[in-house]
A = this chain, B = another copy of it.
Amino acid sequence: MDIKDSFHQYILDLQFSICRSLELVDGKAVFVNDDWVRPEGGGGVSCVIAEGNVFEKAGVNTSAVFGKLPEAMQQAFGVGESQFFACGLSLVIHPLNPYVPTVHANWRYFELYNSASEKTDSWFGGGSDLTPYYIFREDGEHFHTTLKNAMDPFGRHWYPKCKQHCDEYFVNKHRNNEARGIGGVFYDYLRPESEEDAGNLLAFQEANGNAFLPAYIPIVEKRKDLDYGEKEIRWQEIRRGRYVEFNLIHDRGTLFGLKTNGRTESILMSLPPRARWEYNHRPEPGSREEETIEMLKPGRWVRE
C-alpha cells in the first residue's frame, strides 16, 4: 500500500476507535454517520453525536478528496493548474459539563501532481489542542505530557517546536492576544524527503493520532461528574463565544473551506452547541473564571 492509502486506512480505523471510546464514556449518545460525496471527486464520513450524558456535541469527520486543485488553493500553494489528493481526520468535542474541556484535533495528508500525474509535492500536518473553561493544572500537564511522550521517540525537538506553533496559532488577536485554550501541539508542511522518510512521517502521524484518546479521555473521566450550576454554564457559553470568534475570524482551515465551496456542515461542526456574548464581560476579581483568563497565554505544561 502506498502512503496515501495507508494513511487513509489509518484515519478510518482511528475514527472508529475514537467514536467507540466516546460512546463508551458517554453511556447514552450514539454516533450518527453521515456519508457525503464531493461532486468534483471523493467524499467523507461525518460522525456526529448530540445531547449525550457527557458530550453535548461532537463531530469526528474523515474525508478523502481529490481532483483538479481549486483556484484558491493554487494561489495559496503558489502553483499552477494541478491535481491533488487530500485526506484527513478532524474532530471537535464539546462536553456538557463546564469542568470538562473542549478538545480539537486534526491529522491530514496532502499530495500534489503535475499534468503528467507525477507527484510533485506532499506533506503531513496535524495537532491536538485543549480548551478548558476552568483550568486544572494537572489536566493540562496530563494532556501536554501525553502528547510529548508520543512525539519524543521521533526526536526531542518535536514537542517544543509543535507546542510553540500551537501557541502561536490558536490566538484571538482581536481579543488582546488571548489564547483560545491551553494549546497542545500543531505541525504542518512536514514533507517527506524520501520513501523511508515518508514511512517515518506516517509513523509520527500515527503516534500523534494514537495519543489522542489517552491524552483526553482521562480528563473527561475525572471531571465529568463534578457539580456545576447556572454560573458555570454561563461562563462556558461566554468562553464558547470566544471559540466561535477564533474559528470564524482566524482559523485558516475554516475560512479556506468555506471559500472553496467545502461542505459547510462538516466545516462548521466545530462550532459549539451554545454560545453567549455579553457586552464587555469581565470575570469577578479573584474568581476561578478570572484565574482561567490569566492562564490563557502560552505556558509551561510539562515538568522537565
Chain A interface (Cβ within 8 Å of chain B)? 34, 46, 48, 50, 57, 59, 174-176, 237, 241, 244-245, 248-249, 255, 258-259, 264-265, 268-269, 271-280
Contact = CB atoms under 8 A, between A and B. Distances in A.
Contacts of A241: 271, 275
Contacts of A237: 274
A245 B275 CA distance: 12
Contacts of A255: 249
B244 A248 contact: yes
Given A245-B248, A274-B275, A275-B244, A280 B265 contact: yes
Given A34-B280, A59-B279, 13 more contacts: A34-B279, A50-B279, A57-B278, A57-B279, A175-B264, A237-B274, A244-B248, A245-B248, A245-B268, A248-B248, A268-B277, A269-B279, A274-B274
A183 B48 CA distance: 34
What is the count of identical protomers in the complex? 2
A245 B277 CA distance: 14
A201 to B, nearest CB: 32
7 contacts: A57-B279, A174-B264, A175-B264, A176-B264, A241-B275, A272-B277, A274-B275
Nearest to A176: B264
A273 B269 contact: no
A221 to B, nearest CB: 25
Nearest to A245: B248
Contacts of A278: 50, 57, 273
A279 B33 CA distance: 12
A175 B175 CA distance: 27
A279 B255 CA distance: 18
A74 B276 CA distance: 35
A52 to B, nearest CB: 13
